[in-house]
Amino acid sequence: MIETPYLLFLGDAPDQLAAKVAVGIKDWRPENAVGQYRMDGCKADLGLKDMTLTEAKAAGAKTLVIGVANRGGVISQEWKKVLVMALEEGFDLASGLHNLLRDEPDLVAVAEATGRKLHDVRVPEVDYPIANGIKRRGKRCLAVGTDCSVGKMYTAMAMDAEMRKRGMKSTFRATGQTGILITGDGVPLDAVVADFMAGSIEWLTPDNDDDHWDLIEGQGSLFHVSYSGVTMALIHGGQPDALILSHEPTRAHMRGLPTYQLPTLETLRDTALALAKVANPDCQVVGVSVNTQHMSEEDATAYLAKIEADLGLPATDPFRFGSGKLVDALAAM
Amino acid sequence: MIETPYLLFLGDAPDQLAAKVAVGIKDWRPENAVGQYRMDGCKADLGLKDMTLTEAKAAGAKTLVIGVANRGGVISQEWKKVLVMALEEGFDLASGLHNLLRDEPDLVAVAEATGRKLHDVRVPEVDYPIANGIKRRGKRCLAVGTDCSVGKMYTAMAMDAEMRKRGMKSTFRATGQTGILITGDGVPLDAVVADFMAGSIEWLTPDNDDDHWDLIEGQGSLFHVSYSGVTMALIHGGQPDALILSHEPTRAHMRGLPTYQLPTLETLRDTALALAKVANPDCQVVGVSVNTQHMSEEDATAYLAKIEADLGLPATDPFRFGSGKLVDALAAM
């Protein structure tokens, strides 16, 4: 678990896109974002107060989060100066970079000398159990996709935010590095050893109040041959009570697999629901989340209406039209 | 790599199923199994001679193989006493447990002092790729089970032996510690990191002659919530042309999951085939392999006849009645 709140390190980001992890934190957990730290030449700006390390420390920040992609896959000497100073000032460091903090001997040495922690959120830090399949209290919702990268994380984040606004009990449960950095906690599922995948999701979504919802971040797709095992473990470890179908209608083929076509929403519904019922016979498919970013508003509206008619389920683009319909569906259960 | 022959360590196995590693070695490489070592309370028996370490050493055994698998794979203090004595007596140790021999400081220290080797066959030694889903040449057969430990490895081993006897081209492809201990190579799939599971199976079953069959060792079950993700990765990474359904009819519930019932063979057939067709649209279910060890011969024969009538597929117990029918089905494709 990463200590919050954060100082968001933007480094020398060449543009706003390079800082998308920091943008995600600021958008979804503004209470975790005390300020931003920008180096000379930084082209990203979160609209947060620029702070020195000392100012951020005084403002209560506990962890400096690397919210920017590094250039060339290495942690540069310029970054190092700031990171070392941050450790000396009493900050923990957190990163989702491929280049691990723990693989940098100078950072490790300073962290040890100062008693600070280095969090590499791509690497599991917990010995997860093997799944036991025992029914847990509380409710769980999982988004399953026709493909990878169709908006499953965004859907869960948006639903969680809407549920909190309505005073419902909910928790977003991160299963990827961006989600873990945003919330400070979670399971880096794609890096978990095969036998413990489902157990890690049971661990992530324990017993809770009967009226509490875990919004579990989806990963991969049952129809994406590279990652379908990860999705399967999420479905059985998560024991979802509710499934949301996620789709991106303009995709010409499965992401990274040019010869593979996307399944229909009907096929996804039938396949995912049958498998989910193994772990939770009461599971239902409650709605559809569509990423319409490549469609006009008119086309998007018409597409969603057709989905609703064809599947008899509420359908929305949570980014464009809000997640209210999906939350209504959970509230009605 | 591992010196033979073996003394097979059964420890305090709670039942015969827990000793399936040792059973596999004894059945498929009997020339490697000098004897068995059982502790107080051991409920498994290979029908081999019970030996002390000294007796086994005198009989020529070179390596003590931990032939028993506990849930979670913990090396208990009671086991340790025997393992340390074995090293002192001049045995190497070989294990497929999650709890690695090399992670036990006392075993490492004694092995170093005595000049013996610790073999952890479960540890992946290859950087597997992410699966690309590209169709490969040659043919592949995979057994999928209604549950774990229903005879999938036996089925593949028996079919491989029968195919070689007939002069067909075939290779048994090990995906678990027993198979790896028996054949000397393979992928320890349950220890592979999630993102690389399907890719490891593509790596294990590369392009081959058009008339060559890979007999891929199955793992877990799509209906076993602890391990279903591993099974999913095998189905999509393996791109099977032929599926064999594996079943143990007397099982009261899913192994280790008292509240979970086994699916019917029809449900397994429909679920596995639909998922397999994502990676290989030409995939067919070609036969049924039934573990009838807890049934009389009369009951077993009647059960197999009923399966054949109900499913319209050849059905056999490869251990009891041979795998000929299943190989006939592959030969006819």
What's A101's DSSP letter? Answer: G
Which residue in A223, A259, A274 is closest to B271 by CB distance?
A274
> A31-49: b or e for each residue (b if 16 or more CB lie within 10 Å)?
ebbbbbbbbeebebebebe
Q: What ipTM describes this predicted complex? A: 0.92
- Helices then strands, each counted (H, E), chain A: 12, 11
Confidence of residue B3 (pLDDT cuts 50, 70, 90): confident
Q: How large is the average pLDDT for residues A145-165?
A: 96
Find which of A177, A232, A282 to mutate to test the B interface (most B CBs within 10 Å of its CB). A232
**CB–CB contact A237 B225 (8 Å):** yes
**CB–CB contact B228 A233 (8 Å):** yes
Q: What is the pLDDT of residue A226?
A: 97
Taking 60 as the threshold, does the pLDDT of residue A289 lie above it?
Answer: yes
Mean confidence (pLDDT) of chain B: 95
Q: What is the pLDDT of residue B74?
A: 73
Mean confidence (pLDDT) of chain A: 96
**CB–CB contact B260 A133 (8 Å):** yes
Q: What is the pLDDT of residue B22?
A: 93
Q: How large is the average pLDDT for residues B212-238?
A: 98
Residue A320's CB is within 10 A of a number of other CB atoms, namely 15
**B65: closest CA of chain A, how far (Å):** 22
Please check whether residue A123 is in contact with residue A176, taking contact to mean a CB–CB distance below 8 angstroms.
no
* Nearest-by-CA chain A residue for B277: A223
**CB–CB contact B190 A191 (8 Å):** no
- Tell me the one-letter amino acid at B203: W
Strands A169-173 and B63-66: unpaired
SS3 state at B180: helix
Q: Which residues of B touch A (CB under 8 A)?
A: 71-72, 98, 130-135, 189-195, 197-199, 222-223, 225-233, 236-237, 254, 256-257, 259-260, 263, 271, 274-275, 278-279
Confidence of residue B125 (pLDDT cuts 50, 70, 90): confident
Confidence of residue A139 (pLDDT cuts 50, 70, 90): very high
Considering chain B, what percentage of its residues have pLDDT values greater than 90?
85
Euclidean distance between CA atoms A310 and A242, whole angstroms: 19
Q: What is the pLDDT of residue A8?
A: 98
Q: In chain B, what residues touch A225 (CB-CB under 8 Å)?
A: 131, 133, 198, 236-237, 278-279
**CB–CB contact B226 A278 (8 Å):** no
Q: In chain A, what residues touch B279 (CB-CB under 8 Å)?
A: 225
Euclidean distance between CA atoms B241 and B330, whole angstroms: 9
**A249: closest CA of chain B, how far (Å):** 19
Partner residues linked to A290 by β-bridges: A247
Euclidean distance between CA atoms A114 and B200, whole angstroms: 41
Which residue in B192, B226, B236 is closest to A131 by CB distance?
B226
Taking 90 as the threshold, does the pLDDT of residue B296 lie above it?
Answer: yes
User: In angstroms, what CA-CA distances link B200 with A99, B181, B217, B236?
Assistant: 23, 18, 13, 11
Q: What is the pLDDT of residue A17?
A: 86
**CB–CB contact A259 B192 (8 Å):** no
Which residue in A130, A193, A232 is closest to B228 by CB distance?
A232
Q: What is the pLDDT of residue B247?
A: 98
Q: What is the pLDDT of residue B103?
A: 94
Q: What is the pLDDT of residue B82?
A: 97
Q: What is the pLDDT of residue A240?
A: 98
Q: How large is the average pLDDT for residues A310-319?
A: 97
**B274: closest CA of chain A, how far (Å):** 9
**CB–CB contact A279 B191 (8 Å):** no
Q: What is the pLDDT of residue B71?
A: 52
Q: What is the pLDDT of residue A310?
A: 98
Quote the tokens at residue A113.
């000398």
Instruction: Please report the number of interchain residue pairs, chain A to chain B, with beta-carbon separation below 8 angstroms.
Output: 133
Which residue in A197, A225, A257 is closest to B194 by CB distance?
A197
Partner residues linked to B242 by β-bridges: B141, B284
Euclidean distance between CA atoms B291 and A124, whole angstroms: 38
Q: In chain A, what residues touch B259 (CB-CB under 8 Å)?
A: 133-135
Q: How large is the average pLDDT for residues B51-76?
A: 88
**CB–CB contact B72 A130 (8 Å):** yes
SS3 state at B229: helix
* Nearest-by-CA chain A residue for B188: A194
How buried is residue A228: exposed, middle or buried, by Cβ count under 10 Å (0-12/13-18/19+)? Answer: buried
Please check whether residue A284 is in contact with residue A333, taking contact to mean a CB–CB distance below 8 angstroms.
yes
Q: What is the pLDDT of residue A185?
A: 94
User: In angstroms, what CA-CA distances link B23 with B178, B193, B312?
Assistant: 9, 28, 32
Q: What is the pLDDT of residue A228?
A: 98
Q: How large is the average pLDDT for residues B5-14?
A: 94
Taking 80 as the threshold, does the pLDDT of residue B1 lie above it?
Answer: no
**B262: closest CA of chain A, how far (Å):** 10
Confidence of residue B76 (pLDDT cuts 50, 70, 90): confident
Confidence of residue B178 (pLDDT cuts 50, 70, 90): confident
Q: What is the pLDDT of residue B293?
A: 95
Please check whether residue A63 is in contact with residue A95, taking contact to mean a CB–CB distance below 8 angstroms.
no
What's A59's DSSP letter? Answer: T
Taking 70 as the threshold, does the pLDDT of residue A52 lie above it?
Answer: yes
Average the pLDDT over each of A223-237, A319-333, B172-186, B275-289 and give the range with the smallest value: B172-186
**CB–CB contact B231 A226 (8 Å):** no
Partner residues linked to A215 by β-bridges: A141, A172
Q: Which of B247, B9, B11, B234 is nearest to B149 (CA)?
A: B247
B194 contacts: CB under 8 Å, gap ≥ 6: A189, A190, A191, A192, A193, A194, A197, A229, A230, A233, B229
Provide the Cα torsion A11, A16, A21, A27; round to 10°: 120
Considering chain A, what percentage of its residues have pLDDT values greater than 70?
100
Euclidean distance between CA atoms B308 and B242, whole angstroms: 17
**A135 — phi, psi (to 5°)?**
-65, 130
Q: In chain B, what residues touch A277 (CB-CB under 8 Å)?
A: none
Find which of B122, B228, B266, B283 to mutate to test the A interface (most A CBs within 10 Å of its CB). B228
Taking 70 as the threshold, does the pLDDT of residue B315 lie above it?
Answer: yes
Q: Which residues of A touch B (CB under 8 A)?
A: 129-135, 189-195, 197-199, 222-223, 225-233, 236-237, 254, 256-257, 259-260, 263, 271, 274-275, 278-279
Taking 70 as the threshold, does the pLDDT of residue A287 lie above it?
Answer: yes
Taking 70 as the threshold, does the pLDDT of residue A157 lie above it?
Answer: yes
